[in-house]
């Protein structure tokens, strides 16, 4: 443990799901069962947090036990910024809750050095009846600050929040943007040794998110240990030194953030950037439309893992219309690895926004011309929408990522050009240069 900020040692967390019927013995008649019910209920509640040795060994693979985490071990050095990546239900939040002491592990041990602050939600403990000033104190102390610490930072927090004028107004009269800013200002002024952040970036506008990200970057630079969970893969790549990929409660990859994100978004199926949903029920969408696949394809139609900057690249969406009658347009936004929306594109087909789709499978591809994207990782946000009917069955952020490789060392390669060209896109523009005779310049 010497020097480690965080040590997670073979942590497992079990949950029991739906066990009521298993506990009633089948031999009893109805009356006995009724009389036994309170006792069975008691056993049932007790079993929610107690597990038999057999269950703990994992020998009995009963259907009522969920291993939210299974023998998870890792260490974090002070000052490391670690991104936790994984699909919903992979165990990210459970892990953070154990580290922040909200819930105990079922097995294993976890050691933290220094104060842990956990930002699971912006504005925890905010009360609408209290004024901004009062809520700053309330929220700060809930997050573990001492009063004198808040006294010292109070003006700074108010300044940062930008709601100085309303600081003595009850928060219930604030706009939602104002209360989020105030809550974030409090968070930004915490000084824990270990900062745990779970999806706080999901709220707020773009400006707020940028502020959050900057603040996190600062925390990392200031030598704080940060554990960061987000579905914003661009943010993970940008902010984290290291990534941990969780799948079904186990760590499947521990490496650089970029590698881990790449494995995650490519679904771990080889190198090709493709995601497919074989199970209709778990696919994004609703009863009318389901997303079935997203692929990055070359001109030939072959799936790609990384695209050549000079060749056209296609983003292909496969979706099933389960109930006809909807006018549907798929819509993509390409996001740079710094989290900047580069551009958005929608199905420009004449019929796309007028004609209702029949039941069946559709495959649409958006072609990005060669010589436009800059080298680096790009993320795709896929939206299915119906403009006229305000219908939006799914919005999937960072659903897929692909790498653009700028191989042309003669132009912007590793040769004479230092690093990457600045800018979020790298269009190949036609240049023309004309030589002007010196004497003509003087005359002109």
Partner 1 sequence: MSEQSYIDTNVTVIEPVAPWGFIDMRELARYRDLLYFMIWRSVKVAYAQSIGGIAWAIVQPAVQVLVFSLIFGGLLAVDTGGIPYPLLSTVAVIPWSYMSSAMSGASGSLVTNVHLLGKIYFPRAIFLITPIVGSLISFLVSSILIIAVLTYYGVGINMQMLYLPFVFLLMMLTPLSIALWMSSLAIRFRDVRIVMNYFMRLFIYLVPVMYPSEKIPPEFRDLYILNPFVGVIEGFRSCLLGHPMMWDSLLTSASVTIFLFITGGIYFRRMERVIVDVI
Q: Do 188 and 117 touch, CB atoms closer than 8 A?
A: no
State in angstroms the smallest separation of the CB of 203 from partner 1: 14
Residue 384 CB partners (closer than 8 Å, separation 6+): 285, 289, 291, 319, 328, 329, 330, 331, 392, 393, 394
Q: Tell me how far apart the alpha carbons of residues 365 and 317 are, in angstroms, rounded to a whole number.
A: 6
Do the beta carbons of residue 402 and residue 303 sit within 8 Å?
no
Q: How far is the CB of 202 from partner 1 (least distance, A)?
A: 15
Residue 16 or residue 381: which is nearer to partner 1 going by CB?
16
Q: Please report how close the Cβ of residue 25 comes to partner 1 at its closest, in angstroms.
A: 22
Pick between residue 52 and residue 344 the one whose CB is nearest to partner 1. 52
Out of 45, 343, 367, 417, name the contact with partner 1 by CB under 8 A.
45
SS3 category, 330: strand
Interface with partner 1 (CB under 8 A), residue total 52
57 binds partner 1 (CB under 8 A): no
- Quote the CA–CA distance of 231 and 85 in Å, as a whole number: 7
Residue 138 in the binding site for partner 1 (CB under 8 A): yes
Query: What is the smallest separation between the CB atom of 50 and partner 1, expressed in angstroms?
Result: 9
Rounded to a whole number of angstroms, the minimum distance from the CB of residue 1 to partner 1 is 7
Q: Of residues 22, 49, 77, 343, which one binds partner 1 by CB under 8 A? A: 49
Q: Does 111 bind partner 1 (CB under 8 A)?
A: yes
Query: Is position 144 an interface residue for partner 1 (rule: CB under 8 A)?
Result: yes
Q: Is 74 in the site for partner 1 (CB under 8 A)?
A: no
Segment lying near partner 1 (by CB under 8 A), choices 125-133, 251-259, 338-346, 379-387: 125-133
Region of 130-138, 226-234, 284-292, 401-409 interacting with partner 1 (CB under 8 A) = 130-138
Cα radius of gyration (the chain): 27
Q: Which residue is it, tokens 């290291």?
A: 242
How far is the C-alpha of 66 from the C-alpha of 70, rounded, in Å?
Answer: 10
What does the alpha-carbon distance between residue 216 and residue 268 come to, in Å, rounded to a whole number?
A: 28
Chain positions 307 to 366 lying near partner 1, rule: CB under 8 A, are none
First to last CA, the chain: 76
Of the pair 97, 231, the CB lying nearest partner 1 is at 97
Interface residue with partner 1 among 73, 141, 169, 209 (CB under 8 A) is: 141
Note every long-range contact of 39-42, with CB atoms under 8 Å and residues 24 or more positions apart, other chains counting: none
116, 216, 307, 328: which one binds partner 1 (CB under 8 A): 116
CA dihedral for 266, 272, 273, 278, sign (positive or negative): negative
What are the b/e assignments for 348-378, b being 16+ CB within 10 Å? eeeebbeeebeeeebebebebeebbbbbbbb
CB of 144 to partner 1, least distance (A): 5
* Token pair in block for residue 102: 């909200």
203 Cβ contact list (under 8 Å, min separation 6): 122, 180
Q: What is the Cα–Cα distance from 216 to 208, expressed in whole angstroms?
A: 12
Give the interface segment with partner 1, choosing from 39-47, 276-284, 304-312, 356-364 (CB under 8 A): 39-47
The SS3 call for residue 44 is: helix
Site for partner 1 in 148-167 (CB under 8 A): 148-149, 152
137 binds partner 1 (CB under 8 A): yes
Q: Could you tell me the smallest distance in angstroms from the CB atom of residue 340 to partner 1?
A: 31
What secondary structure letter does DSSP report for 23?
G
Residue 191 sits in the site that holds partner 1 (CB under 8 A): yes
Question: Of 380-399, which residues contact partner 1 (CB under 8 A)?
Answer: none
Stretch that binds partner 1, among 117-125, 212-220, 272-280, 383-391 (CB under 8 A): 117-125
Enter the tokens of residue 373.
């994207």
Among 82, 112, 132, 296, binds partner 1 (CB under 8 A): 112
Contact positions with partner 1 (CB under 8 A) in 271-310: none
79 binding partner 1? (CB under 8 A): no
Q: Which is nearer to partner 1, 110 or 239 (CB)?
A: 110
Q: How far is the CB of 394 from partner 1 (least distance, A)?
A: 27
**Is residue 98 a contact residue for partner 1 (CB under 8 A)?**
yes
Per-residue CA distances from 33 to 20, 44, 46, 64, 405 (Å): 13, 14, 19, 21, 68
Burial-class residue 428 by CB neighbours within 10 Å (0-12, 13-18, 19+): middle
Dist. CA 162–CA 436, nearest whole Å: 55
Q: Do 303 and 273 meet the contact criterion of CB atoms below 8 Å apart?
A: yes
Q: Which is nearer to partner 1, 64 or 396 (CB)?
A: 64
The one segment of 111-119, 244-252, 364-372, 423-431 that binds partner 1 by CB under 8 A: 111-119
Footprint of partner 1 (CB under 8 A): 1, 15, 41-42, 45, 48-49, 97-116, 118, 120-121, 124-125, 127, 129-130, 134, 137-138, 141-149, 152, 170, 191-193
């Amino acid at each position: 443990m010497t020097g480690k900020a965080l040590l997670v040692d073979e942590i497992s967390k079990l949950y029991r799901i739906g066990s009521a019927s298993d506990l009633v013995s089948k031999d009893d008649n109805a009356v006995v069962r009724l009389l036994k019910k309170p006792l069975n209920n008691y056993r049932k509640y007790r079993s929610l947090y107690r597990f038999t040795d057999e269950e703990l060994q994992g020998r009995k693979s009963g259907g009522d036990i969920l291993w939210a985490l299974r023998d998870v071990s890792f260490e974090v050095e002070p000052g490391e910024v670690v991104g936790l990546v994984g699909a919903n239900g992979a165990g990210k939040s459970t892990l953070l809750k154990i580290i922040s002491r909200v819930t105990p592990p079922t097995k294993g041990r976890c050691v933290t050095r220094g104060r842990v602050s956990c930002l699971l939600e912006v504005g925890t403990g905010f009360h609408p009846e209290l004024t901004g000033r009062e809520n700053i104190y309330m929220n700060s102390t809930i997050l573990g600050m001492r009063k004198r610490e808040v006294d010292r930072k109070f003006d700074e927090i108010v300044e940062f929040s930008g709601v100085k004028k309303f600081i003595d107004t009850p928060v219930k009269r604030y706009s939602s943007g104002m209360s989020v800013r105030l809550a974030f200002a409090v968070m930004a002024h915490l000084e824990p040794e270990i900062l745990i952040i779970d999806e706080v970036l999901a709220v707020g506008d773009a400006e707020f998110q940028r502020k959050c990200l900057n603040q996190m970057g600062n925390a990392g630079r200031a030598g704080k240990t940060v554990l960061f969970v987000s579905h914003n893969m661009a943010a993970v790549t940008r902010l984290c030194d290291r990534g941990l990929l969780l799948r079904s409660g186990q760590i499947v990859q521990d490496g650089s953030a970029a590698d881990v994100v790449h494995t995650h978004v490519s679904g771990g199926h080889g190198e090709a950037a493709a995601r497919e949903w074989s199970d209709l029920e778990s696919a994004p969408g609703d009863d009318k439309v389901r997303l079935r696949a997203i692929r990055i394809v070359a001109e030939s139609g072959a799936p790609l893992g990384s695209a050549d900057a000079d060749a056209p690249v296609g983003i292909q969406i496969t979706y099933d219309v389960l109930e006809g009658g909807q006018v549907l347009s798929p819509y993509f936004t390409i996001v740079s690895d710094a989290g900047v929306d580069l551009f958005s594109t929608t199905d420009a087909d004449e019929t796309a926004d007028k004609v209702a789709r029949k039941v069946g499978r559709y495959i649409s591809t958006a072609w990005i011309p060669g010589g436009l994207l800059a080298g680096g990782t790009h993320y795709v946000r896929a939206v299915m929408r119906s403009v006229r009917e305000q219908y939006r069955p799914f919005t999937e952020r960072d659903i897929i990522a692909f790498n653009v490789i700028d191989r042309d060392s003669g132009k912007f390669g590793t040769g004479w050009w230092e690093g990457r060209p600045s800018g979020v896109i790298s269009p190949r523009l036609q240049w023309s240069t004309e030589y002007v005779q010196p004497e003509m310049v003087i005359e002109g």
